[in-house]
Amino acid sequence: MNTQSTIIDTGRSKAAHVQLAPVSAVALTDNFWAPRLEINRRDTLRSQYVKLEESGCFDNFRRAAGTKDVPFRGYPFQDTDVYKWIEGASWALAGKDDPELSAMIDAAIELIIPAQQPNGYLNTRFMFEKTDERWTTINTGANNMHEMYTAGHLFQAAVAHYRATGSESLLDVATKLATHIADTFGTEEDKLHGVDGHPEVEMGLVELARITGNRRFLEAAQYQLDTRLGMGRMNSAVYPYLPIREYDRVVGHAVCAVYLMAGAADAYAENGDESLRNMLDRIWDNMTQKQMYVTGGIGPRWDNEAFGADYELPGRAYAETCASIGSIMWNARMLAIDPDPKYADLIEQTLYNAFLSGFSLDGKQYFYQNVLSDDGTQRREAWFGCACCPPNVARLLAQLPGYFYAVSGSEVFVNLYAANQAEVSLPDGQTISLTQKTNYPWDGRIQIVAETTGSFTVNLRIPAWTRGAQLSINGDVQTAPSSGAYAKIKRDWKAGDVIELNLPMPVRQVIANPAVGELAGRTALLRGPLVYCFEQADNTDIDIRKIKLKPGAAFEAAFEADLLKGVTTLRGTAVIAEDACWDVRLYRDIDEVEEPVLKEVTVKAVPYYAWANREAGAMTIWVGRG
| Residue 331: closest CA among 318, 307, 305, 349 | 349
Q: What is the model's pLDDT at position 594?
A: 81
Whether the pTM exceeds 0.95: the reply is yes
Other C-beta atoms closer than 10 Å to the C-beta of 386 total: 12
CA-CA distances (angstroms) from residue 454 to 266, 284, 353, 426? 32, 37, 37, 11
For residues 487 and 471, what is the distance between their CA atoms, to the nearest angstrom?
9
Enumerate residues 6+ apart whose C-beta is below 8 A from 592. none
| Residue 554: closest CA among 585, 584, 587, 525 | 525
322 is catalytic: no
* Dihedral of alpha carbons 477, 483, 489, 495, sign: positive
Instruction: Return the SS3 of 259.
Output: helix
| Residue 145: closest CA among 83, 74, 202 | 74
The residue count of the chain comes to 626
Residue 22 has pLDDT above 90, yes or no: yes
**Mean pLDDT score across all residues of the chain:** 94
Burial 481-508 (b: 16+ CB within 10 A, else e): bebebbbebeeebeeebebbbbbebebe
| Mean local confidence (pLDDT), 266-295 | 98
| Residue 85: closest CA among 154, 27, 149 | 154
Enumerate residues 6+ apart whose C-beta is below 8 A from 173. 109, 112, 113, 116, 122, 154, 158
| Mean local confidence (pLDDT), 390-399 | 98
What dihedral angle (degrees, nearest 10) is formed by the CA atoms of 6, 12, 14, 17? Answer: 60
Residue 235 has pLDDT above 70, yes or no: no
Q: What is the model's pLDDT at position 139?
A: 72
Q: What is the model's pLDDT at position 2?
A: 41
pLDDT, tens digit, 9 for 90 and up, residues 599-622:
999 999 999 999 999 999 999 999
| Residue 502: closest CA among 558, 431, 443, 585 | 443
Q: What is the model's pLDDT at position 456?
A: 98
More confident residue, 581 or 24: 24
For residues 265 and 573, what is the distance between their CA atoms, to the nearest angstrom?
46
Enumerate residues 6+ apart whose C-beta is below 8 A from 145. 76, 77, 125, 126, 133, 137
| Mean local confidence (pLDDT), 19-44 | 98
Residue 27: beta bridge partners? 421
All structural domains of the chain, each given as residue ranges with its CATH number in brackets, are 408-502 (2.60.420), 507-625 (no CATH)
* Dihedral of alpha carbons 566, 363, 524, 250, sign: positive
| Mean local confidence (pLDDT), 276-293 | 98
pLDDT, tens digit, 9 for 90 and up, residues 330-368:
999 999 999 999 999 999 999 999 999 999 999 999 999
Residue 234 has pLDDT above 50, yes or no: no
Q: Place 183 in a pLDDT band, splitting at 50, 70 and 90.
A: very high
Question: Strands 373-374, 619-620: parallel, antiparallel or unpaired by DSSP?
Answer: antiparallel
CA–centroid distance for 613 within its chain: 21
H helix or E strand, kind and range, residue 549: strand 547-549
CA-CA distances (angstroms) from residue 289 to 294, 316, 623? 11, 19, 22
Q: Where are the beta strands (DSSP E) in 195-237?
A: none
Q: Place 517 in a pLDDT band, splitting at 50, 70 and 90.
A: very high
For residues 62 and 124, what is the distance between their CA atoms, to the nearest angstrom?
9
Q: What percent of the chain has pLDDT over 90?
A: 88
What DSSP string runs through 558-590?
A: EEETTSTTSEEEEEEEEEEEEPPP--S-S---G
Question: Whole-angstrom distance between the N-terminal and C-terminal Cα of the chain?
Answer: 56
| Mean local confidence (pLDDT), 405-412 | 98
H helix or E strand, kind and range, residue 48: helix 45-54
For residues 442 and 538, what is the distance between their CA atoms, to the nearest angstrom?
19
pLDDT, tens digit, 9 for 90 and up, residues 410-453:
999 999 999 999 999 999 999 999 999 999 999 999 999 999 99
For residues 526 and 508, what is the distance between their CA atoms, to the nearest angstrom?
5
Residue 464 one-letter amino acid: A
CA-CA distances (angstroms) from residue 273 to 15, 41, 217? 9, 39, 17
| Mean local confidence (pLDDT), 576-592 | 81
CA-CA distances (angstroms) from residue 245 to 226, 503, 600? 9, 39, 54
More confident residue, 239 or 218: 218
581 is catalytic: no
Contact between residue 607 and residue 568 where contact means Cβ atoms under 8 Å apart: yes
Contact between residue 548 and residue 573 where contact means Cβ atoms under 8 Å apart: no
One of 57, 256, 388, 533 is an active-site residue; which one? 388
* Dihedral of alpha carbons 70, 76, 77, 78, sign: negative
Question: Strands 431-438, 445-450: parallel, antiparallel or unpaired by DSSP?
Answer: antiparallel
Q: What is the model's pLDDT at position 583?
A: 77
Q: What is the model's pLDDT at position 236?
A: 47
| Residue 379: closest CA among 615, 113, 604 | 615
For residues 202 and 10, what is the distance between their CA atoms, to the nearest angstrom?
15
Other C-beta atoms closer than 10 Å to the C-beta of 311 total: 16
Q: Place 598 in a pLDDT band, splitting at 50, 70 and 90.
A: confident
| Mean local confidence (pLDDT), 511-529 | 96
One of 147, 207, 270, 305 is an active-site residue; which one? 305
